[in-house]
């Protein structure tokens, strides 16, 4: 069932005017970008501590 979960990757993000972003790849190929991280560490910490809640919020908002 691991394929049913989104994949998170921290990347440099010059095109968004920020230093780092998180690329979220959903199982069916949709891609979201979370911006606003000054460092790679901040992006990785967001993945570790906040990404699960973000996924739940996205799923709930998509159902409304």
Looking at the structure of the chain, the number of domains it has is 1
> pLDDT at position 37, please?
93
Mean pLDDT value across residues 33-45 = 95
Whether residue 2 has pLDDT greater than 50: yes
Domain region containing 51: 2-63
Residue 37's DSSP bridge partners are 20
> Residue 5 and residue 15: Cα distance in Å, rounded?
26
Summarised one tens digit per residue, pLDDT across range 5-32 is: 999 999 998 776 669 999 999 999 999 9
């Amino acid at each position: 069932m691991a394929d049913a979960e989104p994949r998170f990757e921290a990347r440099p993000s010059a095109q968004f005017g920020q230093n780092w972003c998180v690329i979220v790849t959903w199982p069916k190929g949709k891609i979201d970008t979370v911006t606003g991280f000054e460092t790679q560490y901040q992006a990785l910490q967001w993945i570790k501590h906040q990404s699960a809640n973000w996924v739940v919020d996205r799923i709930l908002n998509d159902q409304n």
